[in-house]
Amino acid sequence: MNKDSRNGRAELPVRFTVPNLSVRDCVELAAGLATYAQIHGIPQIEVSGPPVIGELAQEFGFNELRFVDDHQQPGINIPAVPPSWRCGQRGLRCFSEQIADTTRALSPSDDVALSRLTAGSVMRFSRHNRLGDALGIVSGLEHYCRDNDVESVAVSGSHSLAEVVEAFACDRVAHVSSSSEAIDGDAVFARSSWSVPWLSRFNLAVADIFGGRARHQTPPLRLRAMQPPESRGSLVYCQFDARSSTPVPRDAARHVLSKLGSHGEVRVLGGPDTQAYLGEDITYVRADLNEMIACLLSCRLFVGCDSGVGHLAGCLGVPGLIVSTDDFETTWSFFRGYSNLNVIPMAAAELFLS
């Protein structure tokens, strides 16, 4: 069975088959399929694949998804869908005209409904708890509250969230250790698009859920206290996270480090896992968020991959390079909001640094 969309486009698929993927990928797929159904006015779509898809649909309240063991008729095999149907490395958030709908810039004269996010609300996060997630959540929520006159909200979850709230100038977002009544922030985050810059993702997702004005170019928050030094040293800081879902191959990373080493002292931001990954003959620096900020603000150049530290460098205005090892267009879309960072493919990194 196919269904007409709201804009008259016929024969939109309503049955999808999902391959065995990681839970994180399944989150994005479930969110994207639910949004696809909403945009095109499809009451419900069928999804088969790993059982976690059904669990996520129930956990996040994706009533548009009906998990089935098998379809009465063949479903669309997601890996076989043309890449143009997908927006970014993971998920199916941006089907057809969704990019235009999501990124449409609002002018001050537009009639925008008031926000329904209640002052004092707490958003609880358990899945999205990395540094990059925390930067996007706190920045997006802070600007949303400022733009929609929401006096104050709070976030609860990981240590990274608490660190970001403490380090950056948040007037409207606080951190609490726990709350008896909290909004599922992970469910809000899951509905955000992988097609827009990282800091804009959560801002748009909150506006999508609670109404109000949304930013389409969310600026980084300024630091609460620490100011950039007048001049940068000769150090080059690198970060090739061994835990990244798109890690830089070891040999390639070491080659890049050796190229950089001919231009100055190189230090790698990373812990024991990165040290075991890259080798013992490199200077490693382990730091909490404030120490990491100080390191980045003092360096001549930052070179990293798609990671939370890369987004931190972007927020701080540190000049740098992000090496894309997966899908260049996706990595670029995440980082395109940072004017100080350039995204280059792994294949071009060695040539660029020679």
Percentage above 90 pLDDT, the chain:
42
What number is the average pLDDT over the span 114-129?
93
Rounded to an integer, what distance in angstroms lies between the CA atom of residue 50 and that of residue 345?
32
What number is the average pLDDT over the span 233-256?
82
CA distances from 31 to 62, 165, 189, 330, 333 (A): 8, 27, 9, 17, 19
Superfamily for 236-353? Answer: Glycogen Phosphorylase B; (3.40.50.2000)
H or E stretch covering 343: strand 341-345
327 CB contacts (<8 Å, ≥6 apart)?
88, 89
Would you say residue 200 has pLDDT above 70?
yes
What number is the average pLDDT over the span 165-190?
93
Q: Of 312, 314, 343, 313, which Cα lies nearest the Cα of 327?
A: 343
Q: What is the pLDDT of residue 240?
A: 87
Do residues 121 and 148 make contact, with C-beta atoms less than 8 angstroms apart?
no
CA distances from 247 to 204, 240, 244, 317, 335 (A): 28, 7, 5, 23, 17
Q: What is the pLDDT of residue 109?
A: 42
* 296-305 pLDDT per residue, tens: 999 989 999 8
* 126-153 pLDDT per residue, tens: 988 899 999 999 999 999 999 999 999 9
The tally of CA atoms less than 13 A away on the side-chain side of residue 154 is 15
SS3 content of the chain, % helix, strand, coil (to 5): 40, 15, 45
Q: What is the pLDDT of residue 64?
A: 92
pLDDT-derived band of residue 104, with 50, 70 and 90 as boundaries? very low
Would you say residue 14 has pLDDT above 90?
no
* 67-82 pLDDT per residue, tens: 999 888 777 777 655 4
234 CB contacts (<8 Å, ≥6 apart)?
264, 265, 300
pTM as predicted: 0.73
Percentage above 70 pLDDT, the chain:
81
Sign of CA dihedral 65, 68, 71, 74: positive
* 39-58 pLDDT per residue, tens: 778 899 899 999 999 999 99
Would you say residue 229 has pLDDT above 70?
no
Rounded to an integer, what distance in angstroms lies between the CA atom of residue 328 and that of residue 88?
9
Rounded to an integer, what distance in angstroms lies between the CA atom of residue 169 and that of residue 287?
21
Question: Would you kindly state where each structural domain of the chain is located, as residue ranges?
Answer: 15-102, 122-210, 236-353
What number is the average pLDDT over the span 317-323?
93
